[in-house]
Amino acid sequence: MYRALHDRYPYAHCELDFENPLQLLVATILSAQTTDVMVNKVTPALFARYPDAAALAGADREALETLLKPTGFFRAKTNSVMRLGAELVERFGGEVPPRLKDLVTLPGVGRKTANVVLGNAFDIPGITVDTHFGRLVRRFGWTDEDDPVKVEEAVGGLFPRKDWTMLSHVVIFHGRRTCHARKPACGACPVARLCPSYGVGETDPDAAAKLLKFELAPAASSAPFPYAVGPGPL
């Protein structure tokens, strides 16, 4: 299933824009309860005004709240970002630590955020259990756990550590583009034959194609969907 998803999304990547670990850490914190697209609209002005941890720590609260307001829950996010900057300066010399045990002690940072930063800013493998990832791995039958930490442990045991970051990307891409929460496009899914949840969504290939949130490459669509013929051995 991972190989099929990798073939479908070979370009899968973190969809938050960033240039350094601090920018990714802040962007990931801001992404809670909003979209990556919205965060990417906000962060250029944010990082131009507050380029480092010290600047974030000393930010004018009202000005920072105004910048973050489009992302929702802006007061809580302002608190987290300012406290994050202060703790980075006080405890880590203003730098983002490349260790999970340190990252999760920072304001607004849980294992999901820490793994995003480790995998994408430091090239240290990690599994990102967001809502898409959790939903899909349960649909796939990889685990029946609901707790994100238990999901991370269960799925991590199924794959080589070196694959964890890209695994996270392709599963999340699939969740955003094909295997939607309310109406998955089962008839346009590259893992339909292997998925125990095949049939919970639209199985007609033409109708399913209309549900996709991206366009297939011509070679992949010529069949039009070579994998989408129902469950069974591949």
How far is the C-alpha of 114 from the C-alpha of 118, rounded, in Å? 6
Does residue 206 carry a catalytic annotation? no
How far is the C-alpha of 199 from the C-alpha of 59, rounded, in Å? 51
Catalytic annotation, pick one of 60, 130, 146, 206: 130
Q: Can you give the pLDDT of all 234 residues of the chain as single tens digits?
A: 999 999 999 999 999 999 999 999 999 999 999 999 999 999 999 999 999 999 999 999 999 999 999 999 999 999 999 999 999 999 999 999 999 999 999 999 999 999 999 999 999 999 999 999 999 999 999 999 999 999 999 999 999 999 999 999 999 999 999 999 999 999 999 999 999 999 999 999 999 999 999 876 544 433 333 333 333 323
Catalytic annotation, pick one of 7, 112, 150, 204: 112
Query: CA 21: distance to chain centroid?
Result: 16
pLDDT of residue 120: 97
Residue identified by tokens 């090239």 is 123
pLDDT of residue 220: 42
Does residue 163 carry a catalytic annotation? no
pTM for the predicted model, two decimal places: 0.88
pLDDT of residue 215: 72
pLDDT of residue 214: 83
Say yes or no: domain 21-121 is CATH 1.10.340.30: yes
pLDDT of residue 41: 97
- Are the C-beta atoms of residues 30 and 71 closer than 8 Å to each other? yes
pLDDT of residue 48: 97
